[in-house]
Amino acid sequence: MTQILKQPLGLYKANCYVLKEAKQAIIIDPGFHAHKVLDMVGDAELLAIVLTHGHCDHICAVDGVRQVTSVPVYMHPGDDELLHTKRRMPSAYKGLCQSPYIPLQEGALKIGSFDLYIFETPGHSKGSVVIQWKQHIFTGDTLFKNSIGATNNYNGDADVLAKSLQRIMSWDPSLIIHPGHADDTTLETELIHNPYLKV
């Protein structure tokens, strides 16, 4: 049995996801409130934390979770500067993610019973990725329902994001999109309704 649990957390309501399969679990983007994230994991064996990107509203509970579990963290190294250049982070969040991470790169990633695939989709940030699990894609702040992620932030680039979106448009339209904020959707729906995915 497989499960995808979702909870918007923190001031910015960033979606945290917990994937469950074969009594194992993976956390995607634990933004805030480590105790709530761990409640989602429940009695499953937690294997890893995987980050779609390094912005503070998606990572601030990483250290809190690891204080309890010590699981590995995966992140694309393109966002390494977001962890270490503290002047680029709101003062309330400085130093809240000190955990080491395993660098992500495009390709297959097997963690326990989970067969993931990582797509490099820079633009919202240099290290933004999309994580695929079965027919589900976790798009972080690259692609939302009827919208896309901002690029006027440090480390963003509108032209680079446009190229990433062009790539996503070629994928299987039946894919289910689980974004970093707000509601789930499908790629088919976004190809029809999202103004940023018009050819």
Question: What is the DSSP track for the chain?
Answer: -EEEEEEEETTTTEEEEEEEETTEEEEE---S-HHHHHHHHTTSEEEEEE-S---GGGTTTHHHHHHHH---EEE-GGGHHHHH-GGGS-GGGTT------EEP-SEEEEETTEEEEEEE--SSSTT-EEEEETTEEEEETSEETTEE---SSTT--HHHHHHHHHHHHTS-TTPEEEESBS--EEHHHHHHH-GGG--
Percent of the chain with pLDDT over 90: 86
Where is pLDDT greater, at 97 or 63? 63
- Return the pLDDT at 81: 85
- Return the pLDDT at 199: 60
- Return the pLDDT at 92: 46
Dihedral sign for Cα atoms in the order 118, 119, 121, 126: positive
pLDDT tens, residue by residue, 178-196 = 999 999 999 999 999 999 9
Q: What ranges do the domains of the chain cover? A: 2-197
CB of 50 closer than 8 Å to CB of 116? yes
Distance (Å, rounded) from C-alpha 188 to C-alpha 176? Answer: 9
**Confidence at 154, pLDDT banded by 50, 70, 90:** confident
Rounded (5°) CA angle 136-43-7:
45
- Asked if pLDDT for residue 84 goes beyond 80, the answer is no
Distance (Å, rounded) from C-alpha 144 to C-alpha 84? Answer: 27
- Asked if pLDDT for residue 95 goes beyond 90, the answer is no
**80, burial (CB in 10 Å: exposed 0-12, middle 13-18, buried 19+):** middle
Q: With respect to CATH, is domain 2-197 assigned 2.60.40.10?
A: no
CB of 5 closer than 8 Å to CB of 42? no
Indicate the pTM of the whole model.
0.94
CB of 116 closer than 8 Å to CB of 45? no
Nearest to 40 by CA among 58, 60, 65: 65
Residue pointed to by tokens 């680079």: 160
166-175 mean pLDDT: 98
